[in-house]
């Protein structure tokens, strides 16, 4: 079953590259966080990963820290 995703829903997610730029994080930091689960993500395909736009804010609210790499 194929589900269409609205444009508004897509704005709620960032690519790893967009996430790095928005939060001034190193590439290694972001991909390690995705790999170890400390940065929540959705894998769409082998080459497409999406991160909730508010992932870092939620982590900080819960008392977690993220190294700037």
The model's pTM is 0.71
Q: Is residue 46 part of a domain?
A: yes
In angstroms, rounded to a whole number, what is the distance separating the alpha carbons of residues 16 and 69?
A: 14
Q: Please tell me the total number of residues recorded for the chain in this structure.
A: 69
Q: Containing domain of residue 46, as a range?
A: 7-61
Q: Count how many domains the chain has.
A: 1
Taking the alpha carbons at both ends of the chain, their separation in whole angstroms is 39
In angstroms, rounded to a whole number, what is the distance separating the alpha carbons of residues 39 and 57?
A: 11
Reduced to 3 states (helix: H, G, I; strand: E, B; else coil), residue 52 is strand
For the chain, 69 residues long, give each residue's pLDDT as a single digit of tens: 556 656 555 679 999 999 999 999 999 999 999 999 999 999 999 999 999 999 888 777 776 655 555
Please give the biggest Cα pair distance in the chain: 39
Q: Is residue 67 part of a domain?
A: no
Here the CATH number for the domain that contains residue 21 is: 1.10.10
Structure confidence at residue 2 (pLDDT): 56
């Amino acid at each position: 079953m194929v589900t269409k995703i609205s444009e508004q829903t897509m704005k709620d997610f960032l690519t790893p590259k967009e996430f790095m730029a928005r939060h001034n994080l190193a590439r290694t930091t972001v991909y390690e966080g995705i790999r170890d689960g400390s940065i929540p993500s959705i894998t769409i395909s082998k080459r497409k990963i999406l991160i909730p736009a508010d992932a870092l804010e939620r982590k900080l609210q819960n008392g977690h820290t993220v190294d700037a790499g």
